[in-house]
Structure 1
Amino acid sequence: MRAFNAHGPLPDGSQSVESAIAMINGLFGYGGPSQMLHGAERAVTLETDRSSPFYALAQVTLGHADVSSATSIARYRRCRTSPQ
């Protein structure tokens, strides 16, 4: 999938192949907890269109990665700064 990074938005509505890969890494954590959190943070950075379901999925991915990697301080910080 990485070979297709420069193709821009995908037909399914996600912003890019990079975003899709970041969400997969954030949900499944193939490289361990730190890679899971990194992928989820990257997905949130890339998925910025609030009207897209992929924006919501990126946010859920980040919450999942936070819980899975047991970063309670990060969870607290994100909850305090999350959009209403």
Structure 2
Amino acid sequence: MAHRTGAWTHCRQHDHETPARAATIPWFWTQQFGRKLEYASYQEPFDRVTIEEDLNGFSFLATQRQGVRQVGVVAVGLARTDG
């Protein structure tokens, strides 16, 4: 269930419909250095990482891409926005 929650939350935060494959994306979370770290991916190769938010403040979203395809996401220290 936890791996499904991460994929669903990511799609909701970015106004995407949840595709059928997203319902089974492996999701991992841990608490490190006082920050929550979440990782969702099939661990596919990627050639580019896009950072959003505040990398210096250790609160960011890192999107992994292979070409134009998004293949993974790492969220660190981000607050929930769905209440």
| TM bucket normalised to smaller | under 0.3
- The two structures have a TM-score, normalised by structure 2, of 0.25
